[in-house]
Amino acid sequence: MRRKLVAANWKMHGSRDANRALLAAVAASLPGSCDVVVFPPFPYLAELIAAHAGIGFGGQDVSAHAAGAYTGEVAASMLRDIGCGYVLVGHSERRQYHHEDDALICAKLERALEQGITPILCVGETLDQRRQGVTEAIITAQLHAPLQALGERIARIAIAYEPVWAIGTGHTASAAQAQAAHAFIRSQLAARDAKLSRMIRVLYGGSVKAANASDLFAQPDIDGGLVGGASLVAEEFLAICAAAR
């Protein structure tokens, strides 16, 4: 049985005071029925980790390099150093605005795993791609390089299916659409190793909110959510966590 995981991607939102208050409100009422991971902006990570034992934390990004003269980058070893257990890799906003490709994404996965950090690999199609009926081909392509590069170590990652058309748009995939994509992802993993496919957590991301979380999380292949906008409102995020059991 896979324990559900709910991840809060705060993106580039908030301030020191606002983020402290948001996390304090979340931490005070977490239901305990699922794992919770928060991805704050980098400057606030260490302070929030120090103040909140018992919640998981992660970086929104990680360098593809282990160390060195890479201005502005954050190494996986640094994330581990301050207590991060997770990192987002291949988020569609990184693919789109920072032109991240498969090779870069694989290098980031490698750096995270070297440090014992669980990467959450994000995959998903654009609206155009869905309309063209190539959703499965896109997911297959996005999984191909990581599956090749990581081999058996793929068991140490989590995956987030995030249809790009549902991220920040208010258009959630229906529970049936999401389940179909998740079942497809699991079938791709099963083609490698049936046992492995049953172990890996596959999260859904894309306008998850309190009103749709229960339906989504009731699907057999949906193991929790990667939540953007709704994670910035404590009551909304707590209701999503409560739906994950």
| Contact positions vs ligand PEP (CB under 6 A) | 9, 162, 167-168, 205-208, 226-230
Return the SS3 of 8: strand
Q: Which residue, 110 or 236, has its beta carbon nearer to ligand PEP?
A: 236
Task: Reply yes or no on whether 236 is catalytic.
Answer: no
Q: How far is the CB of 17 from ligand PEP (least distance, A)?
A: 22
Which of 91, 125, 182, 236 is flagged as catalytic?
91
Can 136 be counted among the known catalytic residues? no
We find the least distance from the C-beta atom of residue 179 to ligand PEP, in angstroms, to be 17
Name the residue whose CB lies closest to ligand PEP: 228
Question: How far apart are CB 21 and ligand PEP at their closest, in Å?
Answer: 20
Strand 5-9, strand 86-89: pairing: unpaired
CB of 227 to ligand PEP, least distance (A): 5
Residue 91 vs 186, nearer CB to ligand PEP:
91
10 Å CB burial of residue 192 (0-12, 13-18, 19+) is middle
Contacts made by residues 17-25, CB under 8 angstroms, sequence distance 24+: 19/44, 19/48, 20/44, 20/47, 20/48, 20/51, 22/232, 22/234, 23/48, 23/51, 23/52, 23/55, 24/51, 25/234
For residue 11, the minimal CB distance to ligand PEP (Å) is 6
Minimum CB distance to ligand PEP smaller for 39 or for 44? 39
* Closer residue to ligand PEP, CB minimum distance, 48 or 230: 230
Number of H helices, E strands in the chain: 11, 8
Query: What backbone torsions phi and psi does residue 44 show, to the nearest 5 degrees?
Result: -100, -5
Q: Which is nearer to ligand PEP, 112 or 216 (CB)?
A: 216
> Which DSSP string corresponds to 86-119?
EEEES-HHHHHHS---HHHHHHHHHHHHHTT-EE
Selected catalytic residue, list 93, 100, 125, 162: 162
Active site residues: 91, 162
